[in-house]
Structure 1
Amino acid sequence: MKRSTIRKVEDILHDYPKIDKYIEEREQELRYPTAPRDDNVGGGKAQYKYPETTLNTIITIDDDRRINALKHQREVIDDCLDGVGRDTEVIIKALYFKKHQRYTIDGLITNHLVNVSRTKAFQLRNDFVAECAKGLGLYEIAY
């Protein structure tokens, strides 16, 4: 797997604990947009024009690409986490989901937080990253 693909998946994994916050912030941006300043001084306004902001907001939130991409990322990572064992889950949470990373893979093995060899631990991590990449649609181009 290319290093750039691995880095992209790792960046997404680092952001995983904050995805719900990102979705909420984006929904707030769409619900309460900043209105542009009206420079039409002395101009008239349409008398019987009612705003349809609620309907437009619902349509916009459902169609927003960034929200849908974040939800897709969350679903893919959740699905990948559901299909792994305890050791893989401990490795992924320690390496990517902690705000301040406390352990490396070697540290997890040394402190007996995972009960696998060093080679197997790296293989578990790499397999998880590859599975996430496949779910996210980050395919490798073979030459």
Structure 2
Amino acid sequence: MADKIDAVLRDYFTGALDLKIIQRKRELDSVGSTDENVGGGRAQNKHTRPLDDMLIRYESDYELQALFRQRRIMKEWLSSGVCDKETNEILKLHYGKKYTWDKISNELFIGRNTAIRKRNWFKRVLAVQM
């Protein structure tokens, strides 16, 4: 579970999560519509609503919805008052800029173990939500 949470945090802070969402939308857009008119005759009640079809594909795709949920949870927890500014900065430096723990502790003037403890607390809280 910790590896999954680390991957989500890394993707969020590096911007890869947004890119994954865009990529998944493009994959869904490139999927052609299936021809339901098997056999002869002409299609009488055929609908042509491409926007509705696209929205239905987005809403019914499990992978895309999981990515949206991860992004929403990350935004909620980082912007809420639960996660203080120091923890937010620790996460940005560790996952976004890939700083070492020693560099983070020197940058923020806190102990190395304190930074690791705050990161682990946030991961435990996030694991419950995901």
Shorter-chain TM-score range: 0.7 to 0.9
Which structure has the larger Rg over C-alpha atoms? 1
Change (3 A) 1:35 1:64: closer
Structure 1: 5+ residue runs without aligned partners?
37-43, 137-143
TM-score between both structures, scaled by the size of structure 2:
0.78
> Matched residues in 2 for 1:46 and 1:9: separation?
53
Which structure dedicates a bigger proportion of its chain to helix? 2
| Counterpart selection for 2:103 from 102, 107, 115 | 107
Secondary structure, aligned partner of 2:109: coil
| Counterpart selection for 2:42 from 15, 23, 47 | 47
Change (3 A) 1:97 1:45: farther
> Matched residues in 1 for 2:49 and 2:93: separation?
43
- Aligned-pair identity (%): 26
**In the comparison of the two structures, how many residue pairs are matched?**
121
TM-score between both structures, scaled by the size of structure 1:
0.72
> Matched residues in 1 for 2:102 and 2:40: separation?
68
Indicate the RMSD between aligned Cα atoms, in angstroms: 2.3
After TM superposition, list the pairs within 5 Å mapping 1:76-91 onto structure 2.
Answer: 76-82=73-79, 83-91=82-90
| Counterpart selection for 1:131 from 107, 125, 129 | 125
